[in-house]
């Protein structure tokens, strides 16, 4: 899809969209189009249920005198609450309507609400980004779909008083979105396509952007003592890989890096503690944490971020093979601490225990943030609206919460106090990987805490955020790419040199 920012008044051959705020307050563009059509828009609204709420859509054939084929009214929500994220949600709803309609050309008329602290250029950029996010489609394996069944939107024009400013504002949004869409692709791929070695190959390709990519295979993992991670993968024919990405955007004066660590279970059967068959096919997305790390590292490199960062992606496949790890086994982690395996389906915390200690001990980072589709418990607590946030550092937690609010990838902080530590103590080892049914998300986070030393650390449990079974405003069903925009914004606001 080609995206262009142009001055208002350009003839749009396909659909033209204008916004209306909640309470039916028209934007300047809508008022102008209403006058041009002799009040056709107002009459259409008066006989409909359109109220201007975010996501409301009302389409009508273009009245006489317009060169466009159709006019689409888009609800923008409350004028006082309209910002960049609201623009993206409205644009996503517009895209969701236009794509299946078979339209090839779309124009959006953009103007800032009266009294807004944001200008037209910002809103134009976010409208374009919202369409791009919602227009994503993973269809590489569709072979029988007829051409007239496929979305055909090829050209998007955003009409704004400041096209140059909009292009300037859009560039960083587009760069980060490109990284997020790449991760949607990787997370959507089936387990026979993305497995530890093939994921590593995808990471190596990013060296073209200036990332230094290092891959540790089984022998090097053994040498370093990452036995907890190796234990998870020992039942699979696909050997574990630790993918390490380096970005030195701040150079030698930039100091210690910020470290991102991702759980990368490319397929999770549960191992010997096997999962039920229902929806097990979705367990290809159990590598979404590692995907988010790959995505943010790509985003930092693509925009030449002035920061030193390291990304650690711990890639394994959890299978019930003849050599699979057993419940009751004890593993000695890289840190030297021992972990009793109570449940082989609580494998993510085993993988991360080694990956976190590796990042902590090898790179001495200024902060560590890990992402993992770790527990169903966090979904029980927060549903599909917030990722769970656990942190040992209040400042880091606050920075993450702010970045989540700014990008719409929201987090909710959960407790992480020593009251919970007794739940993960083993009778025969230092720790156990399952503290029981209750507060499992906290138990998992408490275990991970034992492997980061005194480094400021945050754990994001994104089990409810990495995959969606229903369409969202800017995300179609499937992989979400959650975490890429969040972490890129975190770096830009709190860690990047100026």
- Tens of pLDDT, residues 72-103: 999 999 998 999 999 999 999 999 999 998 88
What's the pLDDT tens digit per position in 337-392? 999 999 999 999 999 999 999 999 999 999 999 999 999 999 999 999 999 999 99
What percentage of the chain carries pLDDT values higher than 70? 99
- Indicate if the pLDDT at residue 65 is higher than 80: no
What's the pLDDT tens digit per position in 450-476? 999 999 999 999 999 999 999 999 999
Residues 120 and 202 placed together within one structural domain of the fold: no
Residues 115 and 219 placed together within one structural domain of the fold: no
Residues 206 and 331 placed together within one structural domain of the fold: yes
Residues 199 and 139 placed together within one structural domain of the fold: no
Q: Assess if residue 166 is contained within a domain.
A: no
CA dist., res. 450 & res. 434, Å (int): 14
Q: Assess if residue 357 is contained within a domain.
A: yes
For residues 313-327, one letter each, b for 16 or more C-beta atoms within 10 angstroms of the residue's C-beta and e for the rest, the string is bbbbbbbebeebbeb
Q: Assess if residue 109 is contained within a domain.
A: yes
Q: Assess if residue 364 is contained within a domain.
A: yes
What's the pLDDT tens digit per position in 480-490? 999 999 999 99
CA dist., res. 226 & res. 333, Å (int): 6
Q: Assess if residue 181 is contained within a domain.
A: no
Residues 31 and 94 placed together within one structural domain of the fold: yes
Mean pLDDT of 220-242: 98
Domain range for 69: 2-160
Into how many domains does the chain fold? 2
Residues 451 and 342 placed together within one structural domain of the fold: yes
CA dist., res. 68 & res. 17, Å (int): 10
Domain termination site, one of 92, 126, 160: 160
Domain termination site, one of 160, 195, 213: 160
Q: What confidence score (pLDDT) does residue 108 get?
A: 94
CA dist., res. 452 & res. 456, Å (int): 8
What's the pLDDT tens digit per position in 296-342? 999 999 999 999 999 999 999 999 999 999 999 999 999 999 999 99
Residues 198 and 332 placed together within one structural domain of the fold: yes
CA dist., res. 31 & res. 420, Å (int): 59
User: What is the CA 251 to chain-centroid distance, rounded?
Assistant: 28
Residues 139 and 193 placed together within one structural domain of the fold: no
What's the pLDDT tens digit per position in 3-13? 999 998 776 77
Q: What is the CATH number of the domain that holds 479?
A: 3.40.630.10
Q: What is the CATH number of the domain that holds 90?
A: 3.40.220.10
Residues 279 and 342 placed together within one structural domain of the fold: yes
Q: Assess if residue 33 is contained within a domain.
A: yes
CA dist., res. 448 & res. 183, Å (int): 25
Q: Assess if residue 479 is contained within a domain.
A: yes
Count of residues making up the chain: 498
Provide the mean pLDDT of the chain.
95
Residues 156 and 206 placed together within one structural domain of the fold: no
Catalytic residues: 275, 349
Closest CA to 228 of 462, 460, 451, 461: 451
Residues 27 and 142 placed together within one structural domain of the fold: yes
- Three-state DSSP class for 271? coil
Q: Assess if residue 173 is contained within a domain.
A: no
Residues 90 and 212 placed together within one structural domain of the fold: no
- Indicate if the pLDDT at residue 140 is higher than 80: yes
């Amino acid at each position: 899809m080609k995206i262009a920012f142009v001055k208002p008044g350009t003839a749009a051959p396909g659909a033209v969209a204008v916004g209306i705020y909640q309470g039916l307050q028209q934007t300047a563009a809508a008022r102008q189009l209403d006058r041009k059509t002799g009040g056709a828009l107002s009459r259409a609204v008066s006989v409909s249920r359109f109220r201007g709420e975010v996501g409301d859509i009302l389409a009508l054939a273009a009245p006489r005198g317009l060169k466009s084929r159709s006019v689409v009214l888009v609800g923008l929500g409350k004028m006082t609450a309209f910002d960049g994220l609201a623009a993206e949600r409205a644009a996503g709803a517009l895209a969701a309507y236009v794509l299946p309609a078979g339209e090839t050309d779309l124009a959006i008329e953009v103007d800032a609400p009266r009294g807004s602290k944001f200008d037209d250029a910002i809103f134009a950029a976010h409208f374009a980004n919202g369409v791009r996010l919602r227009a994503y489609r993973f269809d590489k394996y569709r072979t029988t779909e007829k051409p007239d069944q496929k979305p055909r939107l090829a050209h998007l024009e955003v009409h704004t008083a400041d096209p140059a400013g909009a292009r300037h504002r859009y560039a960083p949004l587009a760069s980060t979105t490109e990284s997020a869409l790449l991760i949607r692709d990787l997370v959507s791929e089936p387990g026979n396509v993305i497995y530890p070695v093939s994921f590593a190959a995808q990471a190596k390709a990013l060296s073209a952007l200036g990332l230094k990519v290092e891959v540790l295979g089984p022998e090097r993992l053994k040498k370093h003592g990452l036995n907890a991670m190796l234990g998870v993968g020992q039942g699979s024919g696909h050997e574990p890989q630790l993918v390490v990405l380096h970005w030195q955007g701040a150079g030698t004066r930039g100091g210690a890096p910020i470290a991102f660590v991702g759980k990368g279970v490319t397929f999770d059967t549960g191992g010997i503690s096997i999962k039920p068959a229902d929806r097990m096919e979705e367990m290809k997305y159990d590598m979404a944490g590692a995907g988010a790390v790959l995505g943010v590292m790509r985003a930092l490199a693509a925009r030449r971020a002035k920061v030193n960062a390291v990304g650690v992606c711990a890639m394994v496949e959890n299978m019930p093979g003849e050599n699979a790890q057993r419940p009751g086994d004890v593993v000695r982690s890289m840190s030297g601490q021992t972990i009793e395996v109570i449940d082989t389906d609580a494998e993510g915390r085993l993988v991360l225990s080694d990956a976190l200690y590796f990042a902590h001990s090898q790179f001495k980072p200024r902060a560590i943030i890990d992402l993992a589709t770790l527990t169903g418990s966090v979904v029980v607590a927060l549903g599909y609206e917030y990722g769970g946030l656990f942190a040992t550092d209040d400042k880091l937690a606050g920075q993450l919460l702010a970045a989540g609010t700014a990008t719409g990838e929201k987090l909710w902080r959960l407790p992480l106090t020593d009251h919970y530590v007794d739940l993960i103590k083993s009778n025969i080892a230092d720790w156990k990987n399952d503290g029981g049914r209750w507060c499992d998300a906290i138990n998992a986070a408490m275990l991970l805490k034992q492997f980061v030393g005194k480094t400021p650390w945050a754990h994001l449990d994104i089990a409810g955020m990495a995959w969606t079974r229903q369409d969202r405003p800017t995300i179609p069903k499937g992989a979400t790419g959650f975490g890429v925009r969040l972490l890129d914004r975190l770096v830009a606001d709190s860690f990047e040199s100026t």
